[in-house]
Amino acid sequence: MKRVLLGLTVLILSLTPAWAEKAPQKVIDLANSDLVALGMDAMIVEAVKAENAKGKTLDAIKQRDEKWKNTPGIDSDMQAMMDSKLGAHLRSIQNKMAFLSEIFVMDNQGANVSMTDKTSDYWQGDEAKFKESFKGGAGAVHISDVEFDDSTQAYLVQVSVPVKDGGSVIGAITFGVNVDEI
């Protein structure tokens, strides 16, 4: 019995990510200052308000999410999101803050509004980055652990902050912060 318990303990410990590293203090400070302020950027707020006004159903979002995940490369809808006025604005933010590997903005259901690069899925609403930053309309800052990102080939921390229209949380924005560049 002791051998079985020891074997199970070793198995469980081997599956637990012991290498998970917390975000450096520089990232935490950046998240709670410059990045949280971008959640109130007028162009971002207006784009999220416009997307929310479309009244998309969650079923329609999930259907688009399935198509998105099964689309190799970038289709015309994805390209339009990157080439939009907001996409250009996000890239200008990224150019000013070279340590940002990606930026994407989500509506009040976690669906992408715009992005600098293609995300792995369209709907972020079931993920911590959206759930913790939107927080059911209460809003909060969410900072992930440091993780290796295959698409950028870099160690990133995802920082997600609420998008606010006045005092109302209307969406969220996620920033991929390259910890080696900050």
User: What gap in Å lies between CA 182 and CA 173, rounded to an integer?
Assistant: 19
Does residue 4 sit within a domain?
Answer: no
- Its pTM stands at 0.87
Count how many domains the chain has: 1
Q: How confident is the model at residue 121 (pLDDT cuts 50, 70, 90)?
A: very high
Q: Is 55 exposed, middle or buried (CB count within 10 Å of its CB: 0-12, 13-18, 19+)?
A: exposed
For residue 13, being part of any structural domain is answered with no
> By three-state DSSP, how is residue 119 classified?
coil
Confidence band, pLDDT 50/70/90 cuts, at residue 4: very low
CA 178/CA 182 separation, integer angstroms? 6
Amino acid at 45: V
Give me 104's structure tokens.
């994407």
Say if 39 falls within a structural domain: yes
- Tell whether 119 is covered by a domain: yes
Is residue 11 very low, low, confident or very high in pLDDT (cuts 50, 70, 90)?
A: very low
The stretch 57-73 carries a mean pLDDT of: 96
Report the CATH number that the domain containing residue 61 is assigned in CATH: 3.30.450.20
Is 63 a domain residue? yes
The answer to whether position 122 is within a domain reads yes
pLDDT band with cut points at 50, 70 and 90 for residue 7: very low
Residue 6 lies in a domain: no
- In a domain? residue 118: yes
Structural domain of 131? 22-178
Predicted confidence at residue 14, as pLDDT, reads 40
